[in-house]
Amino acid sequence: MSIFKKCTFYRDAQSLVIGTGLGHCDLLGQAICEGDIKFCENPQKLLKELSEQKRKEPEKNIKEPSQEKKFSRYKVLVVDDREALREMVVIFLSRQGHQCITAGNGIEALSKIHKNKVDAVVTDIVMSGMDGITLTKELLTIYPRLPIMVMTGYSKEHPAESAITAGARDFIGKPFSPEEFILRFNKMMSDHEILLKIETKQEEMLVHVQRESSEKVNELQREIQSLKNRLQSGST
């Protein structure tokens, strides 16, 4: 007894039942195979199309790059003299795919950052030895573009505003939730990347000014303004 293997390209004619032989083949037109692949008039073409379909099947579950928001992965220095809070921040960041190194105080943080290239720093404000404000100033003296987030609690000696005055990109009040922390961190890093792009465009513009390429200069000016608009609107 032969096994009937229905062809995926065969369609029965309207108002007619399966097996009449009056169907339609999407590859060859009118078909007399009754949908059984062993009676296909062009088996080589059928095999080629089936192979192509199988090759494309895994791609159905893959989203286009534009459909997924891509997040960069960063190396972050986490500084706090309390191990519990330090490890909590590491967990928040690690879950997002970031790599973390830690320091228990400002002096250790300076030592670590000299040995490790980092993309950002998250530091507590009140620490023994060297507080977060002093650490922020020291770091920015060495790495002026380094994005720093300061974690603050209520302190008359170190108000939250002092972190921004010192040059930190952002501060977050304790206690905070994982969602709030990641939201603030992502915003800080997004703004940082936009600022870097602006600097790159400005450097390109200077080169073209020297070459007297007015058309390219105008194009770069428009791109810079667009980036600044994104920064001001908080767009990511």
Q: How confident is the model at residue 61 (pLDDT cuts 50, 70, 90)?
A: very low
Collapsing DSSP to helix, strand or coil, 177 comes out as: coil
* pLDDT at res. 11: 60
* pLDDT at res. 218: 75
61 vs 107, more confident: 107
Q: What is the DSSP letter of 230?
A: H
* pLDDT at res. 152: 86
| 135-191 per-position pLDDT tens digit | 999 999 999 999 999 998 755 566 667 888 899 999 898 889 999 999 999 999 999
Q: Is the peptide bond before 175 cis (omega within 30 degrees of 0)?
A: yes
Alpha carbon of residue 85 to chain centroid: 26
Confirm if 192 and 184 have CB atoms less than 8 A apart. Answer: no
| 189-200 per-position pLDDT tens digit | 999 999 888 888
Alpha carbon of residue 5 to chain centroid: 46
Backbone φ, ψ for residue 143 (5° rounding): -125, 85
Contacts of 110 (CB under 8 A, 6+ apart): 130, 135, 138, 139
Confirm if 109 and 143 have CB atoms less than 8 A apart. Answer: no
Backbone φ, ψ for residue 195 (5° rounding): -60, -40
| Ramachandran category for residue 105: left, alpha or beta (phi over 0 → left; psi -120 to 50 → alpha) | beta
Residue pointed to by tokens 């073409």: 45
CA atoms within 13 A on the CB side of 9: 21
For β-strands 99-103 and 75-79, DSSP reports them as parallel
pTM of the model as a whole: 0.61
Side chain identity at residue 42, one-letter code: N
| 79-122 per-position pLDDT tens digit | 999 999 999 999 999 999 999 999 999 999 999 999 999 999 99
Cα angle at 84 between 73 and 153, to 5 degrees? 90
Is a pLDDT exceeding 70 seen at residue 51?
no
- % of the chain residues with pLDDT over 90: 41
Q: How confident is the model at residue 213 (pLDDT cuts 50, 70, 90)?
A: low
**DSSP secondary structure, 19-51, as one string:** TSS--EETTTEE--STTBGGG-S-HHHHHHHHH
Q: 19-28, 47-56, 100-109: which range is least confident on average?
A: 19-28
Is a pLDDT exceeding 80 seen at residue 53?
no
